[in-house]
Amino acid sequence: MSRDASEPRGPGRRPAGQDTRGAVLRAAREEFAEKGVDGASMRSIARRAGVDPGTVRHWFANREELVAASVIPRELNPAEQIRILSAPGLTGLGRRIAETVLGAWDEEGGPARFRILVAGLSSTDMHDVLAPILERSVIPTVSDLVPDPDPRRFVLVLNLLGGTLLMRHVFRIEPTASLPLEVLVATVGDAIQRALEDPL
């Protein structure tokens, strides 16, 4: 008996031509949003995506990799981006950081990804994704450019970026929520520059 086209597809191979990786990511974001990062399993994500768990692992080797892909915009490769942003030196670094980070989360799907990230901050998986990025890539690279690499400078930078993203995409507080991106980048970027350079 042929299956009604309106019936949900069970686990198994997706039809040829469908974006399997994209389907898995969409399913993961929906599962994380509904159940939290700790509550969603690879199996439940596979069921929602209409694939078997092996297909999920074909695209994402483990939960950490899937969590990272679900919350960090694909074009925002932190380790690579921080090297590119730092290459011209300290001058203008604040605006370059603000443009890259705030711009990536402003792209289509970015606000939803950021809300999942915030909801999962207490998760071990989320910690395992974010901590190495900051500790091994971002902070050491920027420290090499700053004459006085006091750790408090990085606390200020992270607070400026995180606070802005929270006000824009989670709490929707005006005027931050509706400011044109270029205005937000200039304002936050200049504040980041002062945090990196000014005496503490």
pLDDT tens digits for range 88-131: 999 999 999 999 989 988 987 788 888 888 888 878 878 888 88
Taking alpha carbons only, the member of 101, 82, 75, 89 closest to residue 184 is 101
Same domain, yes or no: 111 and 44: no
Residues 6 or more apart whose CB falls under 8 angstroms from that of 184 comprise 98, 102, 164, 168, 176
Helix, strand, coil % (nearest 5) of the chain? 65, 0, 35
**155 lies in a domain?**
yes
Containing structural domain, residue 30: 20-62
* Cα 160–Cα 166–Cα 171 angle in degrees, nearest 5: 140
Contact between 20 and 51 (Cβ < 8 Å): yes
- Entry pTM: 0.75
**8 lies in a domain?**
no
Domain boundary (62, 90, 112) is at 62
**113 lies in a domain?**
yes
Same domain, yes or no: 161 and 120: yes
Contact between 118 and 166 (Cβ < 8 Å): yes
How far is the C-alpha of 197 from the C-alpha of 121, rounded, in Å? 29
Phi, psi of 51 (to 5 degrees): -135, 170
Phi, psi of 199 (to 5 degrees): -60, 140
Residue 82 belongs to domain with CATH number: 1.10.357.10
Tens digits of residue pLDDT in 142-183: 888 898 999 999 999 999 999 999 999 999 999 999 999 999
